[in-house]
Homo-oligomer: A and B are copies of this chain.
């Protein structure tokens, strides 16, 4: 099995949506990513939590096969995010962010971690992302995500990082802002000129765009009549995508990349059906394959003309 190292946030999230709310529930980009990716590949988390981080969360992650040796406990409190979603589920309103121990996060990789085949740099300060990348021996593939905050505050560090990254993940608004382009496809073109040969633009309920081998592949989201909590959908998508891709090892294969898009979509669709990591914790590979094939069937269109 391929080994993926993910560096990112581990958080306690309090989220309110039209369907309910969660209070100091497990969250964070590294957590969502890992819980999705572990279905396909071995995953190790590099991150930091405070003294208040519930032991059962660490046990749960570990019980799901995720290596949490690199999840350091530091004096202080765990990173917290307080957010709210209205009718527009693509629009997360941040009510409060308490960085706490995350403020002084200085990831130091173990020898084992430095030799991981795949590195996923979840959305954190691009200078930290670069620092982690520079500690790696010779990863086969490096992927990253980012967000508006870093696009505004550290654009140069981000550009420098992108030059060393193989796969970029970003949501549509972020990609447009980062590249000053009016649409997702042109934004992907600019980002791929900066470095990543594969660009994935996430569009939430409208699906996602893959640019690979100079061509665009657009896939819809899996149709859901209700979404309880969109928190972590993007990280879960990336986890399903990277977990599957790492398992194939076929990083440049367009067909593998397209399947990775669908696995990412399926994982994200499960995640949003309940708050926090509830669905991901109990998800089986059988249920994933069931929805993956359901999704393939819905997308499948026969090549032959239909005549009555």
- Name A residues whose Cβ lies closer than 8 Å to a Cβ of B: 18, 87, 182-183, 185-186, 189, 203, 205-207, 209, 215-221, 223-226, 247-250, 253, 255-256, 258-259, 262, 293, 296, 298-303, 305-308
Contact = CB atoms under 8 A, between A and B. Distances in A.
Contacts of A219: 220, 299
Nearest to A86: B182
A121 B36 CA distance: 47
Nearest to A295: B301
Nearest to A308: B249
Number of copies of this protein chain within its complex = 2
Nearest to A181: B225
Contacts of A256: 306
A259 B259 CA distance: 22
Contact of A216 (B182, B293, B298, B302): B298
A224 B218 CA distance: 11
Contacts of A262: 301
A306 B300 CA distance: 18
A209 B225 CA distance: 12
B248 A301 contact: no
Nearest to A204: B206
Contacts of A247: 307
Given A206-B207, A262-B301, A303-B296, A87 B218 contact: no
Given A215-B298, A253-B306, A299-B299, 8 more contacts: A183-B225, A185-B225, A186-B226, A207-B218, A218-B220, A218-B298, A248-B308, A262-B301
Contacts of A223: 185, 209, 216-218
A223 B212 CA distance: 13
A147 B57 CA distance: 50
A255 B301 CA distance: 7
24 contacts: A18-B182, A185-B225, A186-B225, A189-B225, A203-B206, A207-B207, A207-B220, A216-B298, A217-B298, A218-B223, A219-B220, A219-B299, A220-B220, A247-B307, A248-B306, A249-B308, A250-B307, A255-B306, A259-B301, A259-B302, A262-B301, A293-B303, A296-B301, A299-B299
